[in-house]
Amino acid sequence: MTQAEHRTGPPADGPFAECVLCREPTEYPRTTKGATLCPVCQWQEAQRTACPG
């Protein structure tokens, strides 16, 4: 499956900020400050930084 197939997509009203990693739309409005991640990248980042023990 591709990343787009995993993504459920943001609600119909926008505009939305782009993910800083993959450039897909996020669930956050464009006015959100800081680094925004799409749900897929957010989950992957959480897996990378999770405590192993």
pLDDT at 49: 92
Whether the predicted pLDDT of 41 surpasses 70: yes
Instruction: Please check whether residue 6 lies inside any domain of the structure.
Output: no
Query: How far is CA 45 from each of CA 2, 17, 25, 31, 39, rounded to the nearest angstrom?
Result: 18, 18, 17, 22, 10
pLDDT at 3: 47
Instruction: Please check whether residue 38 lies inside any domain of the structure.
Output: yes
2/18 Cα distance (integer angstroms): 18
Whether the predicted pLDDT of 2 surpasses 50: no
CB contact at 8 A, 38 and 20: no
Instruction: Please check whether residue 48 lies inside any domain of the structure.
Output: yes
Number of compact structural domains in the chain: 1
Instruction: Please check whether residue 40 lies inside any domain of the structure.
Output: yes
In the chain, the percentage of residues whose pLDDT exceeds 70 is: 75
Domain of 42, in residue numbers: 15-53
Record the pTM.
Answer: 0.65
Instruction: Please check whether residue 22 lies inside any domain of the structure.
Output: yes
Instruction: Please check whether residue 31 lies inside any domain of the structure.
Output: yes
Instruction: Band the pLDDT of 52: cuts 50, 70, 90.
Output: confident
17/37 Cα distance (integer angstroms): 9
